[in-house]
């Protein structure tokens, strides 16, 4: 096979050797980080104001119940907005498709978690592992349910009393569940500084990506 003079030199110049690749790789775009931070801030405001409404000691300490109710209602109503705006970002849409795909390696990851097997080789993952996919799907569904039940509680003329009573029950107990799940999410984030750095700066160390997400090729992103 013949080659055009100079072609080998151009290929070598444009394709870095593995040893010459950057130490850090991009994991999240600016739009994705904005969506995460804004959603987290709104969710935190929802949880804090809900606690101030339902825990008597906190309610007495904070006071100004009307202001707390207003903050809670509007922060909940605005929760889907960052996600909807994020759909304008191509990297965000690409990662959504990844989160929506569940493959054989994800089932293997879950089996390893169930066995408490902490060997990285037993937990294969693409850009997102199975736990992150399940969390993303669950929290998205929970936000929709909270939004629907919250609207029924806010606009009392939308439904009969029995519907509003059921909506209140679901809203209250799901809020408690969301609080517990968020605590678990935060604890896992605190245990992985590099994952937090990736969400804060958009990039992670290449060795971390290779160890924690071996099926993800950041150079093809």
- Rounded to an integer, the average pLDDT of 158-186 is 91
Question: Do residues 46 and 72 make contact, with C-beta atoms less than 8 angstroms apart?
Answer: yes
61 vs 58, 64, 121, CA distance in Å? 5, 10, 50
Q: What is the pTM of this model?
A: 0.82
Is the pLDDT confidence value at 153 over 90? no
Using CA of residue 50, residue 149, residue 188, residue 198, what is the dihedral sign?
A: negative
If you search the block for the tokens 């130490």, which residue do you land on? 23
- So what's the pLDDT on residue 1? 45
Question: Do residues 113 and 134 make contact, with C-beta atoms less than 8 angstroms apart?
Answer: no
Using CA of residue 172, residue 65, residue 148, residue 94, what is the dihedral sign?
A: negative
Question: Do residues 182 and 47 make contact, with C-beta atoms less than 8 angstroms apart?
Answer: yes
* Burial degree of 154 (CB within 10 A; 0-12, 13-18, 19+): middle
What does the pLDDT look like over 103-132, one tens digit per residue?
999 999 999 999 888 887 888 999 999 999
Is the pLDDT confidence value at 61 over 90? no
């Amino acid at each position: 096979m013949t080659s055009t003079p100079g072609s080998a030199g151009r290929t070598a110049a444009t394709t870095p050797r593995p040893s010459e690749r950057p130490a850090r790789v991009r994991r999240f775009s600016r739009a994705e980080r904005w969506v995460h931070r804004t959603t987290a801030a709104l969710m935190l405001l929802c949880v804090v104001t809900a606690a101030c409404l339902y825990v008597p000691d906190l309610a007495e300490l904070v006071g100004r119940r009307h202001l707390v109710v207003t903050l809670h209602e509007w922060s909940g109503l605005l929760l889907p907005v960052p996600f909807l705006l994020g759909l304008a970002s191509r990297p965000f849409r690409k990662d959504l498709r990844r989160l929506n795909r569940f493959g054989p390696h994800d089932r293997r990851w879950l089996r390893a978690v169930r066995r408490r097997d902490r060997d990285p080789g037993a937990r294969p993952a693409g850009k997102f592992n199975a736990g992150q996919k399940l969390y993303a799907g669950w929290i998205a569904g929970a936000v929709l349910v909270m939004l629907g039940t919250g609207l029924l509680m806010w606009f009392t003329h939308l439904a009969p009393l029995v519907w509003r009573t059921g909506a209140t029950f679901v809203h209250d107990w799901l809020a408690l569940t969301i609080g517990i799940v968020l605590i678990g999410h935060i604890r896992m984030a605190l245990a992985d500084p590099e994952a937090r750095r990736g969400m804060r700066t958009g990039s992670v160390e290449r060795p971390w990506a290779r160890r924690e997400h071996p099926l993800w090729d950041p150079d093809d992103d």
